[in-house]
Structures are given as structure tokens and as C-alpha cells.
Amino acid sequence: MIVPLFLDTNDGQHFSMDARQAIKDVCASAEADIRVHLGALREDIELACQTGEFVIPETGEVGGAMTPSRVGWTVDPNMPGGVAGVARRHLRFTLFHELHHLVRGWVMFGGEPRTSFMEGVVSEGLATVFERDAGGREPPWGQYPDNVEEWVSELRELPVTAPYNQWMFQHPDGRRWIGYRAGTYIADRAILASGRSAAELARVPSDEVLQMSGID
């Protein structure tokens, strides 16, 4: 069961009863659909909700796989419709993405030590394909350009200590979501070659996914 937790934040915003109910409703509905695909998902999961402005501008919210049993979710209360509106529009898809990470073990705390930068690229790509194919959202961070193979080559040269935010979110040269978009390309190739879905590849090691894709 996904249990929402409503956290106090420095901006002094609070979750209204309508917002809390919207979040609970979305969690219940999304969880039932997600578990059809991700049978290895833990029974008890926490969704730690907080308000703030550090969100994806296109959606007004952002998720993060914190631990094997907790997802963090930040929502901008100043977006149209407020917290409840953002939850009804976007939380379902964010849960698809983040819960795929929980099954894969791609979490901020309590996961396996990271040995290559490509682990993040592959993990984000698979989660993005899962939210797209199983969840039904076409996120901009899953749309790769014609020269995406050049991006893949760049990423494969990076050490594990490379600046994550720069390569995954906003690069100084203006590109956004380089790792996500290249990872989606890798995941699509691996799925096409193997005949397995993003859910079925959730626990497959990144180097094997790369081999399936024909890139490695």
C-alpha cells in the first residue's frame, strides 16, 4: 500500500483536505495498475509529499526514489489548480517512473554502490519507458534527438563521479535531460531486440541492457 506522508516545509505551505484526498486517490488508483506490471514491488511504500518550487517546470512537480520503500514528491502549490490539480494531472505518471526505480534498486539511499555513470542512464531510460508504455505519459525527457547516438557516446566516456545534475537535467550547453533521453533510446533498443518490456527488464543489470541494445 502506498501511504502518503505530508511534510512541513520552509515555505509555510500546507496540504489542504482536497489536496490530501486527491493524492490519496491517485496513489490508490495508480498502485493497482503498477502492481500488475511490477510484481516485485514492496508491499508497503511511503510517498513523502512536500511543497516547493524546485520542480520540473513542465509539470509543476518532481519525484525521487529515496529508499527502497520511500518516494519523495515535491509539488509547486502555485501551479494552476494548486496541489490537487497538479496531483490529478501528473502524480500517477511520476509514481510509475519512481516505483520502477524502487524495484530496480536505483535509489538515493540504501541501494547498491554505483560503479558506472551508465547505470543511471539505463535506469532512468527504463523508468521513462515504463511511465510511457505502461503509464501512458509521453514525457519530454523521453524524446531523443536524431543525433542521440552521439549523446550515448558522450555519456559512455564519463566517469562514475561525473556531475549528475549536469548530464541528467541541465547541461551548460543548453541541452536538457541528456541522460534521460539517451537512456530512453537505449531502453527502446533493448526492448525491441529482446522482446521484453521495461517492467521485465527492471532487474536486469545495466551492462546486460546495454548489450541487448547493441550499443555495448
- Spatial contact of 44 and 112, defined as CB atoms under 8 Å apart: no
Residue 216 has pLDDT above 90, yes or no: no
Q: Is the pLDDT of residue 8 over 60?
A: yes
Identify the pLDDT of residue 13: 64
pLDDT attached to residue 14 = 75
201 pLDDT exceeds 80? Answer: yes
How many whole angstroms separate alpha carbon 45 and alpha carbon 43? 7
Query: Are the C-beta atoms of residues 84 and 113 closer than 8 Å to each other?
Result: no
DSSP run (H or E) holding 72: strand 70-75
- Give me the percent of the chain exceeding a pLDDT of 70: 97
Burial classification of residue 32, based on how many CB atoms lie within 10 Å of its CB (0-12 exposed, 13-18 middle, 19 or more buried): exposed
Separation CA 40–CA 37 (nearest Å): 9
Higher pLDDT, 167 or 8: 167
Indicate the length of the chain as a whole number.
216
Q: What is the pTM of this model?
A: 0.95
156 in Cβ contact with 207 (< 8 Å): no
Amino acid sitting at position 156:
R
- pLDDT grade for 161, boundaries at 50, 70 and 90: very high
Over 80: is that where the pLDDT of 188 sits? yes
Q: 97-131 pLDDT, tens per residue? A: 999 999 999 999 998 889 999 999 999 999 999 99
Q: Is 196 exposed, middle or buried (0-12, 13-18, 19+ CB in 10 A)?
A: middle
Question: Is the pLDDT score of 10 beyond 70?
Answer: no
